[in-house]
Structure 1
């Protein structure tokens, strides 16, 4: 594994940041409604004064903490008159990509600057697919990685907590995505000792399998699968001239973004 040989911390971070920024522009597919309707649409209505909210927000049972971050981005764009549709779409995703890059770097430091840890996180197709999405779960995953770099566990044991008086660690995770940093850590923790004994051809074979096995789903799910909901947005933007226009979506509920991808007056 010569991937990280000689790389300084700043160079590693730039590499990770480049991968996450790249995903902003390459991943152009719909994943789940929450990516838009629990963040972008809420923030858009708050800052620009018009939009649509789902019933959870109308009933006031959701927290505004994460949408407030997006609201701050929108508000900055509004104040600087940079609230063009394309920038309104890209800015929150770029912010999320930067946060995910910090999480990736924290993961790399948590592993002890291991080359295989860097390789695993760079080749993970699902993290590439989700790392720049404006999902609360994406932010949770990033924060989990950052937290575990500060309060790590090693070899499956919460070593930080064993040093204190507390002998038990309670982990409550609602969704599966925030488990990803721990699973990738365990994966590289298995690969590293094996790699020290493996022959060169075995190392290159494993690296090749990881690349091929992850590039294919990253390409398919990032550019093909469920790409229609986002491809139609620029077309609607050209046709919709004001926010009084009605659009009928003959598809499952909240399967597309709306005002946050239109930015009409």
Structure 2
């Protein structure tokens, strides 16, 4: 029976690798696959997080090992470079799902709420450090000594998670305090012989990996806290009100599962002595939400780590409730939860933001074929909001690629504007200053942009023709359109010296200028 549950989760998570074909957040690629690609093949872009040393190389290093094995066996095609890391993460997520089942006393409802959670299905096979963090958290919770049995096995995945992503420590503060309080061992003994020893071993491993790959002695967790917390760099990428996690973040992540969770919360508060384990988990959830709420930059994925805690509380409540409820009511509740999760999971996995990945598949083919046809490499420019697509990890062809940068204001410059913001203030002015005007062959061979930008850069596009269009989103903004377009330069072999881009003092015609 246990093997069947494990195989079920393995099948489910592997299926998500192929079902979830949409873009979510840049970190899925730029903080994992792109870094691993550079480690293995020598080219790929490192964002400022890596040049400043705030990220740990531990996770990308594991992916780089996969890439190296593929390269040695001459199997390093783009399809496998993209697919295998997701398969690896899906298998780890499946194992953590099985450990969740074990932790939940092998409850059928635990399998149900975890398997139907739309947000976990949407993220469980993504190469996000948050996904790895969540898997390690669940594994640790399954070994946590909830009963009188003494054990510190849980500290190993906890320590690894913290060194990969320091914010992982937040929910473990109340849990570890509880562990030390209930333990029969003296606190000093636990701290010295368990906590500090395990932390030292994992920390030494992490320090060695990071220092070797960063090229100098570096403690990435310290740099992470220094930039994101002390310097508040995270707020550069957006701010939300303090209550956002409570009224938007958590209800969205739980979806329709918010309903049984709220019932479970009320029940737990009323009978704290009966549901001691659930009470501890609720304290942990509240503590984590409070700390996260104090940070200005907030994202849905930051809640991934406490999602399993919420699902455990809900599953335990549903398991006890279903023993007393009628069969029809139980089936009705199960069907409602299933449908309520399938709807957002389907839309976000199949439809929303799928263009960002589809366009990269096309560009990979273009990069491969362009040299064969014209005996010269393609040159791509992405006139999109910063990090709107993957990069070299999805091209795997050492061709010229440029995107709009968006580094934070490290030097505290007054009226600072990153490259992406500067571009969107006046696209044509940026193009005139940053792209060569002649010969035409010096211009990018292909331009990638949202359709909403086309009217603003029509003069620049006068020497390009639209090659392909990919649906991206039903929800548009002033920078993000419904479709991502690929434009190809006319006659790539032409080397005329006439400028296709009007200079600052020239007035373009209605039709634009021809090269």
TM-score using structure 2 length: 0.47
Residue in 2 that maps onto 1:235: 362
Aligned-residue offset at 1:102? 0.4
Residue in 2 that maps onto 1:3: none
Aligned-residue offset at 1:125? 0.6
Residue in 2 that maps onto 1:5: none
Distance 1:25 1:254, change over 3 A: same
- 1:165-211 Cα offsets, whole Å, 9 max, x none, are 55x99886863110011010001011111000010101110110111
Aligned-residue offset at 1:109? 0.2
Equivalent of 2:313 in 169, 177, 186: 186
- Structure with the greater relative contact order (CA < 8 A, sep ≥ 6): 1 or 2? 1
Larger gyration radius, structure 1 or structure 2: 2
Structure 2 residue 134 is matched with structure 1 residue 134: no
Indicate the SS of the match to 2:134: helix
For structure 2, list consecutive stretches of 5 or more residues without a partner in the other structure. Answer: 148-173, 188-279, 293-301, 399-515
* Aligned-residue CA RMSD (Å): 2.4
Superposed, 1:1-265 pairs within 5 Å as 8-151=1-144, 153=146, 162-164=182-184, 165=186, 175-241=302-368, 245-265=378-398
- 1:16-39 Cα offsets, whole Å, 9 max, x none, are 010000000000111111101111
The CA distance in 1 between the partners of 2:2 and 2:76, in whole Å, is: 34
Residue in 1 that maps onto 2:272: none
Indicate the SS of the match to 1:176: helix
| Aligned residue pair count | 256
Distance 1:208 1:182, change over 3 A: same
The CA distance in 2 between the partners of 1:94 and 1:120, in whole Å, is: 22
Indicate the SS of the match to 2:379: coil
Asked if structure 2 preserves the Cα contact closer than 8 Å seen for 1:144 and 1:178, the reply is: yes
For structure 1, list consecutive stretches of 5 or more residues without a partner in the other structure. Answer: 1-7
The CA distance in 2 between the partners of 1:81 and 1:14, in whole Å, is: 31
From the two aligned structures, give the one with the greater strand fraction.
2
